[in-house]
Amino acid sequence: MNTLIPLCEADVLFVGLARDCELTIEHTVLALLEAFSEAKTLRYYVVESDSTDGTVERLESMSQSIPGFQFESHGCLSERFPKRTERLAFCRNRY
């Protein structure tokens, strides 16, 4: 039986993957923060790989400034997993 609980009693965890999203990731997370501001707790967990822009640096900055925000970076997985689908599966399994 699924029982819905009020948002104010919910512990919310957002998980996701990141690659080359330096210009959009912070805006997206802040929009989620605003949309779910009534939640009891909000946490974020992002798994990054293969970015060629400033995504890792942006994620590092966000982990310092946004409460509950954590990430892990796996560098260049494309050498280990040539297929994009393999990289996605690896990163999804990390969270």
pLDDT tens-digit readout, 30-86: 999 999 999 999 999 999 999 999 999 999 999 999 999 999 999 999 999 999 999
Over residues 1-22, the pLDDT tens digits come to 678 999 999 999 999 999 999 9
pTM reported for the whole predicted model: 0.90
Q: Which residues contact 47 (CB under 8 A, 6 or more apart)?
A: 15, 16, 17, 18, 71, 72, 74, 91, 92, 94, 95
Instruction: Indicate the Cα dihedral angle 18, 29, 4, 2, nearest 10°.
Output: 0
Q: How many CB atoms lie within 10 A of CB 49?
A: 23
Name the nearest CA neighbour of 48 among 70, 23, 81.
70
